Structure 1
Amino acid sequence: MSDLVRAALAVEATPRPPYAFWTHYPETDLDPEAIARETVAFARATRQDFVKSMPNGLYVVEDWGVRTDFSEIAAGGVAKVTASPIEAHEDWAKIRRFDPTSGTLGRELRHLKLLVEALGPSVPVLATVFSSVTIAKKVSGGLFAQHARSHPALVRAALDEISATTAAFSRKAIEIGCAGVFFAVQDATATLGEAAWRDMGLAYDLAALEGARAGWFNAVHMHGDDIAFDLIATYPVHVLNWHVGETPPTIAQYRESGGRKPVLGGLRRTPITQRDMAAVEADIVAALSADGGRGILLSPGCVIRHPVNLDLLKRIAARIRGEA
């Protein structure tokens, strides 16, 4: 399966597209052994060609003193910050880089190591990490934008520390066997503006991605609607992931504009959640119609909300594999 993934990343013709699915694992994602077991079982049940790790979305901020609430995830909700170490602008000085082998990041490296060992070299594993601005927003409980305007030097210094920590974590993840990182950018929207992102986001993301330089399967995830696609698509990664079918561009539009990077995605989440196999089939056909399906790795554009319907995902997998 690793050969199939590598061929797709090289935009070569493949007998079928590689694919993966991902969802949350509430109540187990704080235990590295438990989440590794559940992830491996899910990957094997759906016969995935690669695996994106699914830690809870706030693992990247807990070591800086953030308190969290995960109680709504099991019902399809999201994790929440209940207390932040950033209450005033001077608190940004508390954000210092730290050893990613300790604390919550160390827990997640343990989770990744277990995944790599259980799945073996034939199933590449992507370590989920986050953009520096995304982490800063999670850390600050919503005060990031205000403090970035009023005290930019303090916020920039904190972003330097966040980027260095993310790079160190990514480097360790690849050292233990991950194929690369899934770099989630949740705040680079066209509404914010490309100029603003170039000023306060781009340099820190590039610094964070330096830690993944040794990876052979690095992806960037452009989260949400109205994304700053043209800018984020230039990031030094191997494959692009966005909410294809939910926000522009389509894969065909990206290809027609001259975009040549492989695409990770193509499956909208709503048809999967609504168990609409006809709509899923249409998504697969649309994704593979661009450039004869070369350079396509099928996946959801973002997290499939919990709980998932495993039987439907097995049907989708069989369709992708040409067995249904």
Structure 2
Amino acid sequence: MAQTMTPYERVRAALAGEAVDRVPFVFWHHFRPEGSGERLAQLTLEFFVEKFALDIIKVMPDLPYPLPTDGSARLEELAGHPHLDLTTPSFREQLVCIRAIRQRVGPEYPLIVTLFSPLTYVLRAIGKRQGVEAIRANPEAARRAMETIAANLRLLMSEAIKAGASGIFFSCMGATTADFTREEYRTLGRPYDLAALEGAQAGWLNIVHVHADPDQSEDEVYFESFTDYPVQVISWSDRLTGPSLSEALQLTSKALMGGLHERGPLTRGSEEELKNEMLSAISQTNARRLILANGCSVPDDTPEEWLHLARRLLETSGLARS
């Protein structure tokens, strides 16, 4: 068994497929910072460091990119979306948040910033189902919108890493059989994903999250479409949709992030079910190349007793040791 590691050492070892003292562990939900980077930093530190001592600090997208998220936008309006700079309030406050956290935790603690893909922002602005049809009907307007959004994100990612982020948690919607076809995503999503991620090149902990809605069923994510993305980790809801963790190990050399159902035992128990789910993730990967995490955000009102239990199980049961 490896000697006790710091979060930095533990995550670095997991990325390299090396032995760990226990698997890196993180979970998350949303906060209400009311537009303040300082407030988001405070809430983030309280949750990830002070309360749960998790291995990765995840800045949530709670200082939102300046597009509507209520499904009220029209694609033709988004096609005229402007280029933004670092005086944009949400961008400025994100950087305030990152700097405040980094100053508090020191230079090594793994710190990631959550951003969505250009296609995701468009779908959230229009409404997912309406957005899919609108993009199919007018792909040129969609391309114009996503090209500008990608340029804005590229700038923000670059500055976020300069400010102290270890990498970007890049969430991609639409790459499932319930949304676009694989070919559609290759032409409508991928080019703008890669354009945005150019800004994250200096990060050592970049993660692509292939998003499937928790209430969707019988759909599959296009996991293999992301295995060549310039990131170190692939995240997806493996308890909702394939591939399994063991299957994914054969599909990519990148580290994997998942293992816990975001609407499962982590949010409601029981202890035995939660322990079994954690043990399953560990056994599928032999505790190598794994960051144990929920597949997507847990509900904000999740009883903290289950989050505390998961954290204790990791330390006391020995189930997460290599």
1:212 aligns with 2:200: yes
Answer whether contact 2:44 2:58 (CA < 8 A) is retained: no
SS of the equivalent of 2:292 reads: strand
How far apart are 1:82 and its partner, in Å?
Answer: 6.5
SS of the equivalent of 1:59 reads: coil
- Aligned counterpart in structure 1 of residue 260 of structure 2, from 227, 248, 267: 267
SS of the equivalent of 2:30 reads: coil
Q: Which segments of structure 1 move beyond 4 Å, counting only runs of 4 or more? A: none
How far apart are 1:180 and its partner, in Å?
Answer: 0.1
Give structure 2 stretches of 5+ with no counterpart: 1-6, 213-218
1:301 aligns with 2:295: yes
Structure 1 residues 212 and 317: alpha-carbon distance in aligned structure 2, compared to 1, 3 A threshold: same
How far apart are 1:16 and its partner, in Å?
Answer: 0.5
Give the Cα separation in 2 of the matches to 1:216 and 1:321.
26
Counterpart of 2:61 in structure 1 is: 55
Counterpart of 1:2 in structure 2 is: 8
Aligned length: 302
1:131 aligns with 2:117: yes
Answer whether contact 2:205 2:233 (CA < 8 A) is retained: yes
SS of the equivalent of 1:263 reads: strand
Give the Cα separation in 1 of the matches to 2:313 and 2:210.
27
| CA offsets 1:147-185 (integer angstroms, 9 cap, x no match) | 433432232122110111111111111000100000001
1:14 aligns with 2:20: yes
Structure 1 residues 150 and 259: alpha-carbon distance in aligned structure 2, compared to 1, 3 A threshold: closer
Counterpart of 1:320 in structure 2 is: 314
Structure 1 residues 110 and 183: alpha-carbon distance in aligned structure 2, compared to 1, 3 A threshold: same
Answer whether contact 1:17 1:298 (CA < 8 A) is retained: yes
Give the Cα separation in 1 of the matches to 2:27 and 2:79.
39
How far apart are 1:29 and its partner, in Å?
Answer: 5.0
Q: How does 1:219-298 map to 2 (within 5 A)?
A: 219-224=207-212, 225-255=219-249, 257-269=250-262, 270-298=264-292
Answer whether contact 2:70 2:126 (CA < 8 A) is retained: no
Give the Cα separation in 2 of the matches to 1:145 and 1:46.
38
Counterpart of 1:70 in structure 2 is: none
Identity across the alignment (%) = 29
How far apart are 1:117 and its partner, in Å?
Answer: 1.9
Counterpart of 1:94 in structure 2 is: 80
Give the Cα separation in 1 of the matches to 2:39 and 2:237.
29
1:310 aligns with 2:304: yes
Give the Cα separation in 2 of the matches to 1:129 and 1:82.
18
Answer whether contact 1:127 1:181 (CA < 8 A) is retained: yes
SS of the equivalent of 1:49 reads: coil
Instruction: Kindly provide the amino acid, as one letter, of the partner of residue 35 in structure 2.
Output: L
Answer whether contact 1:134 1:185 (CA < 8 A) is retained: yes
Instruction: Kindly provide the amino acid, as one letter, of the partner of residue 202 in structure 2.
Output: A
Counterpart of 1:203 in structure 2 is: 191
Instruction: Kindly provide the amino acid, as one letter, of the partner of residue 263 in structure 1.
Output: L
Counterpart of 1:40 in structure 2 is: 45
How far apart are 1:101 and its partner, in Å?
Answer: 4.1
Counterpart of 1:116 in structure 2 is: 102
Structure 1 residues 179 and 35: alpha-carbon distance in aligned structure 2, compared to 1, 3 A threshold: same
| CA offsets 1:225-284 (integer angstroms, 9 cap, x no match) | 5211111233221011111212111101222x3432111111112211212222221121
Instruction: Kindly provide the amino acid, as one letter, of the partner of residue 257 in structure 2.
Output: L
Give the Cα separation in 1 of the matches to 2:13 and 2:71.
44
| CA offsets 1:122-155 (integer angstroms, 9 cap, x no match) | 4211010111100112233455434433432232
- TM-score if structure 2 supplies the norm length? 0.87
How far apart are 1:207 and its partner, in Å?
Answer: 0.5
- Aligned counterpart in structure 2 of residue 168 of structure 1, from 147, 155, 163: 155
Answer whether contact 1:193 1:228 (CA < 8 A) is retained: no
1:81 aligns with 2:70: yes
1:28 aligns with 2:19: no
- Aligned counterpart in structure 2 of residue 186 of structure 1, from 167, 173, 177: 173
Answer whether contact 2:170 2:208 (CA < 8 A) is retained: yes
- TM-score if structure 1 supplies the norm length? 0.87
